[in-house]
Amino acid sequence: MAAVKPKVREDLAVVEIDGEAVIYDERTGDLHHLNPTATIVLGLCDGTATVKEFSFDIAEAFGVPREDVERQVRALLRDLRKAGLMENGRGDGRTS
């Protein structure tokens, strides 16, 4: 089975201010604030790449170990999924 390509829900209102995302979920009325690093990951969650793929790109850009980046990205995606911000049921990039 193919790896999941995380995608943020399209119906969310997302505004970026000084490199930080503010997300409004009209369904729940919740407001979420992401730091600059989480905002980068959010921007990559467009359904076109796997967690491994964009973790590699982030690691390369920042000169840090891919394994560390991937672990942190997966943790962030779990939080986004729990908050109901992801399109698919998993949002953590793992295979079913």
pLDDT value, residue 4: 85
pLDDT digits (tens, 9 = 90+) for 65-86: 999 999 999 999 999 999 999 9
pLDDT digits (tens, 9 = 90+) for 27-56: 999 999 999 999 999 999 999 999 999 999
Residues 31 and 22: beta-carbon distance below 8 Å = yes
Burial class (CB in 10 A: 0-12, 13-18, 19+), 26: exposed
Q: What is the pTM of this model?
A: 0.85
pLDDT bucket at 3, cuts 50 / 70 / 90: confident
Q: How is the chain split into domains, by residue range?
A: 36-82
